[in-house]
Structures are given as structure tokens and as C-alpha cells.
Amino acid sequence: MEYRRLGESGLMVPALSFGAGTFGGRGELFGAWGDTDETQARRLVDISLEAGVNMFDTADVYSGGASEEVLGAALKGRRDQVIISTKAGLPTGDGPADAGTSRARLIKAVDQALGRLGTDYIDLFQLHAYDARTPVHEVLSTLDDLVRAGKLRYTGVSNFSGWQLMKSLADADRHGYQRYAAHQVYYSLVGRDYEWELMPLGLDQGVGAVVWSPLGWGRLTGRIRRGRPLPAGSRLHATADYGPPVDDDHLYRVVDALDAVAEETGRTVPQIAINWLLRRPTVSSVLIGARNEEQLRQNLGAVGWSLTEDQVTRLDAASAKAAPYPYFPYERQEGFARVNPHPLTRAGAARASGLDRSTGARGRGIVSAVLKNAGASEINTGRTG
């Protein structure tokens, strides 16, 4: 297993981490994801640790807290071997204080998560959503207090827009609070919106991406094909409306490209989709979930090998979509791209390298990945530049 720095922090995380959303199995959404109990969870943790996967991610809303409880029980006796990542901020009840990231709610959420997880500290605590009702300064000062109290080690966010994350980082710098080290984001071959704003921001500010749903909300499992009905056992029957939308023609175009690479490599569609993500700039770790041992072992096969430059270029082209404003001028017109090249191009990688030298810490540890990735092609986004 490869280990990477989480953004510009000192925390080393595995390239693959385990997402415990299938633990607990309560409610319409999470029940469709899986219903892993404590005994099954302990076996999945065993397999993960044997493979070097030592970061486990959950959240207080997963199965109403049951995911944290099952994960805590499965990790009992080996706390010092693992990195625990959890999240809070989404509604857990109907009361006015049951949602958001106010000082009172964050303190309560952390204490409750510690109890469910059976630990006295959380390695990585992330805000599950941006709370527009609570001042950023209140959120950051509370998290800083929790870090100083020893209850949290590192902090991050999830599902933030670019301006929301940048506003938070600026406030942290202004007041000397701990900066966010991670941004847990949706990113996949059928969902590359992360690349437009959040990837360049993460590169510039040294925020590492922890990727959720790398298989496009269950669409890149290898079981969905053009001209065939949705498999009976697919969770998409129950969960499609909760997740990111994907146009069918775009999905099938990506699946066709994945099938071609699978035939060339002897790897599975999920393994190829995850391996592609591991090459992308700012990606610190990719969360893999599993309902059973077979799924877990298959996903673990995404590491230890590399796609060729030609295969990456073809996957890039098949998954490319037109950039929205204000990004399309920088993709379509040379003058725009010259002054602000995307980090997935050689010019963008060179700019990132210069930024790293001039600012010291900012972007350090991420630039090498950009340079490695940019060497694959002049324009590695699969779009016109």
C-alpha cells in the first residue's frame, strides 16, 4: 500500500481507505448500501489492515450513528493501528439544534461520536456540509478548541464549494486556527466536476482530496452495460435519486472505454476506475466500500499497478465534458490557458511547481503528483485546451 500526505499536513494516509457507509444498515438509504454487522465488520477490518488500509471513514448520519458504533466495535483493541475519520453537520433530528455546525452542536457531535466510536480522540474530523447559518469564525474557533483539547487531531470539510472552502481557509490564516487538511469530495470518471474549481484550489492551498463514491454512485461496478436493464441487485434501484446524476449516454461511453482497458489489462472495471483516480492531482486517498469480502478484495486490487499513458488519455477523452463558465475560456482559448493553465496540463504542472518554490509550504507534497500526471499528455483532461 502506498501512503501519502493528507494535503500539506503531516498526516500520512493510505492511497485507499475504507468507507464504512455499509456498516449498520438502518434506514432507506443506508439500508440499501448494506447491513454489515459487528462480526462481518471485524472481518472486513482484518482484511483491510492486512492490505495496509488503515484509515476508516464514517459519519454520524450513517445509519443514524450505527455505522460509528459498528466501526468502533470492530476496531476495539487496535485503536493505535488505525486512523479514524468521521463527519458531522447534517441533520440528525428535527429540532433546531439538530443540524449545522454551531459551537454547541459541534461540541455535542464530537462527544457523541467519541462515545459511539469507543475512543477518546478522532484522527480526522470533517464538516459534512457547509452551514450557511453559522459564522465561519465560530466554526473554526470551536474546531481549534477541540483540537487543543485533544479530542481531534486534524480537521477537514466535505461537499464545500470553492468560495466556502477558501473563505474558511482565509479566516483560519487570519486568526491562527488550524487549517483544513482534507476535503472529502465526489470524484469519478463519470463525475469530474471536482477538477474545475476544487482541484486547483486544493493544489494552491495544500488541501488533500479524500474521494467518496469513486465508482460513480455504483454505476462503474462492471455490471451496468449499454442496452441491458439495471441488474436486480443494484443499489441504484433504491438510491439513484440521492446521488449525483449521470447522463446514460455519457455513462455508457465511459463504460465502453473501461471495458476496452479491462480487456487489455486483465483488470476489472472498478479497479481501473479507482486506479485512474489515484493518478489525479491533489488526491490523497480514495474511499472504497464493500458489502462483503469479495467486493473488498476486488477493490483492493486497484493498487500495485499503473495504467499506461495511452490508457489514461483514452479514459480522459471518454469521460470529458464541456467546461461550464467561467472555466470554458481557459479550456478553449489559448490566451486564457496561457495565463491560467489547468493543473492537468504540463503548463499547469510547471506553474504549480513554481508556486511551490515561491511559497514554500503551500502545495508542497502535491506538486510531484501533478508533474507525474501531466507527463502523460499535453492536455490530460481530454478536452480542447
Please measure the distance between the N-terminal and C-terminal CA atoms of the chain and give it in whole angstroms.
35
The gap from C-alpha 320 to its chain's centroid, in whole angstroms, comes to 20
120 φ, ψ (degrees, to nearest 5): -105, 5
Element holding 183 (H helix, E strand) = strand 182-186
Which run of H or E residues covers position 126?
strand 122-127
Cβ atoms of residues 86 and 18 within 8 Å: no
Task: For residues 224 and 240, give the distance between their C-alpha atoms in angstroms, rounded to a whole number.
Answer: 14
Contact 313, 373 (CB under 8 A): no
Q: Indicate the Cα dihedral angle 224, 196, 210, 148, nearest 10°.
A: -160
Q: Quick one: cell of 353? A: 511547481
Distance from C-alpha of 180 to C-alpha of 66, rounded to nearest angstrom: 26
Name the amino acid, one letter, at 195. Answer: E
Comparing C-alpha atoms, which of 140, 160, 146 is closest to residue 210?
160
How many whole angstroms separate alpha carbon 321 and alpha carbon 324?
9
As a whole number of angstroms, the distance between CA 272 and CA 216 comes to 13
How far apart (Å, rounded) are the C-alpha atoms in residues 230 and 223?
8
Helices (H), the chain: 28-33, 38-50, 66-74, 103-117, 136-148, 162-175, 198-205, 236-239, 248-265, 269-278, 293-300, 309-319, 328-332, 334-339, 346-359, 367-374
Q: Which residues are known catalytic residues?
A: 62
Could you give the CA distance from residue 316 to residue 336 in angstroms, rounded to a whole number? Answer: 21
